[in-house]
Amino acid sequence: MRYIVTGGAGFIGSHIAEYLSANGHEVIIFDDLFSGKKQNIRHLLDKKNVSFVEGSVTDIHTLKKITDGTDGIFHEAAIASVPRSIKNPLATNEANVLGTLNVLITARDSGVKKVVFASSSSVYGDTPVLPKQEDMKPLPISPYAVSKLTGEYYCRVFSSTYHLPTVCLRYFNVFGPRQDPHSEYAAVIPKFITSILKNQPPVIYGDGKQSRDFTYVQDVVQANIRAMERDVEGVFNIAYGERHTLNELASTIMEITGKQMKPDYEPVRQGDILHSLADITAARSLLGYSPEYTFKSGLQETVSWFRNQ
């Protein structure tokens, strides 16, 4: 097959591109390198079935040039940060909403067979009901969450109105190798790992009792492939169906690294949710999704990768 991975030089996108290439598919990595990095895909660029096109999903004309003859699109490109969206909601809207609409229009016009869209658990907001089920009323509390929910609605409209098959995967706190720890908007796990490896206390916003359903990136790749290859549409939670507190996360990383220190606690950040837990029944039954890693084994793989950098 011939696939496009938007945001393919990013954290999750590079892992999807790597899997597709290893399994003999033709892969076009499309990325504007805003947050993606060439170093994430350098090992792929000498392969005959992989090509890289630098460009933004906000530029529909460049998208159209590469989409003809494409079987499917994995749409990972986004400004993926709650704090960044609060600081600059306009940029988040342009990349995540306009960008998604451009991808869908291009896919429709080029006869693409399916689009798999990277959505987010943030669309659920901070409702107290756990676990989160796909049929719950969304309650986004950040511009980022609004942008992802809007992308889902556009996918639904393009499925029903234009008969373009789409699947939306609501990721829950994905982590793994290649996740950037250096940005002020970096996710918690790479920040914790790099701090602890440097013998610096990890920073926790709040009391550390907030919990997350952490998901290792290779299981997210599996979900994307199954979503593309199976005759199914709709919205699916992608997670492990279990939650761990940030205090537990810090403790587990310290156990794996053999280092002990007390975290630094700072005030809660605006837009952060308190608890997150997914019901993955639909993904298991309809996608055939079955996580191959655990919270701890995924952390062990991730710590090992960061140690080698």
Q: What is the CA radius of gyration of the chain?
A: 18
How many whole angstroms separate alpha carbon 13 and alpha carbon 38? 12
Whether a cis peptide bond, with omega within 30° of 0, leads into 143 is no
Alpha helices by DSSP H, the chain: 11-22, 60-67, 82-87, 89-93, 99-110, 143-162, 188-197, 217-229, 246-257, 281-282, 295-307
Options 3, 19, 124, 144, the catalytic residue: 144
How many whole angstroms separate alpha carbon 181 and alpha carbon 194? 7
Region at 27 (left for phi over 0; alpha for psi -120 to 50; beta for the rest): beta
Hey, which residues does 27 pair with through a beta bridge?
3, 50
In the annotation, is 144 catalytic?
yes
* Catalytic positions, written as ranges: 144
